Amino acid sequence: MITATPPPAPLSHAPHTLLAPTPSMTPSMTPSVRPARRQDAAALAELSQPFVRSGALRARPASLYAARAVDFLVAQGPGGRLDGCVGLRVHPAGPGEGRGPVGVLYNFCVAGQRQGHGVGAGLLRAVLAVAHTQSLGALFTATTGGGGLFLRYGFAPTTVRLAPPSWAASLDPRRGARILARAL
């Protein structure tokens, strides 16, 4: 995902409230962030398709989006269209790992015409707030892009051995994704 966003704002709002406008947004363009619903599955699959075609995201069927709708936050624009989404999957600590649960961000995407308008930053602020309410110790993600948005929000490159083992095992090394993490 390529976005141009302002510096991170403090996590002062609830994750499902209207996002504060950025200088490039007018109030009528401001999306709201809300939890996804099963009926959003087709729209989530459609929103993700350009990123799947580019190789930035894995292909996922609409049925998987429906089954995992509870993982997702969506940015909903005027008229109800989905402008972006991000999944948060919680991974409990394994036996003997000596840590609490952590989260993995996945399928983070913003519609092309909405990139550079603060949608990705709003989604990231919202998912960070959700992670805090769930008392997660860290967040991980894998990106095939530069990861600039993640880096601006405190993520840093890390190694696969620090990531949740089941998620790390699911990564396709041919994609060349960088693993980023942020302690919470």
**Tens digit of each residue's pLDDT (9 = 90 or more) over 141-150:** 999 989 999 9
Q: CB–CB of 19/129 below 8 Å?
A: no
E-assigned strand segments in the chain: 32-35, 72-76, 82-91, 102-110, 138-143, 156-157, 178-183
Model confidence at 182: pLDDT above 60: yes
Domain boundaries of the chain, sorted by first residue: 32-183
**Tens digit of each residue's pLDDT (9 = 90 or more) over 12-28:** 333 333 333 444 444 44
Torsion of CA 169, 98, 144, 130, to 10 degrees: 120
How would CATH label the architecture of 32-183?
A: 3-Layer(aba) Sandwich (3.40)
**Tens digit of each residue's pLDDT (9 = 90 or more) over 29-75:** 557 999 999 999 999 999 999 999 998 998 999 999 999 999 999 99
**Tens digit of each residue's pLDDT (9 = 90 or more) over 64-106:** 999 999 999 999 998 889 999 999 999 998 777 778 899 999 9
Chain-wide mean pLDDT for the chain?
Answer: 85
The whole-number pLDDT of residue 96 equals 74
Q: Are strands 138-143 and 102-110 parallel, antiparallel or unpaired?
A: parallel
Once rounded to an integer, what is the mean pLDDT over residues 123-141? 97
E-assigned strand segments in 31-183: 32-35, 72-76, 82-91, 102-110, 138-143, 156-157, 178-183
The whole-number pLDDT of residue 29 equals 53
The whole-number pLDDT of residue 16 equals 37
Give the strands of the sheet with 102-110, arranged side by side: 32-35, 72-76, 82-91, 102-110, 138-143, 178-183, 156-157
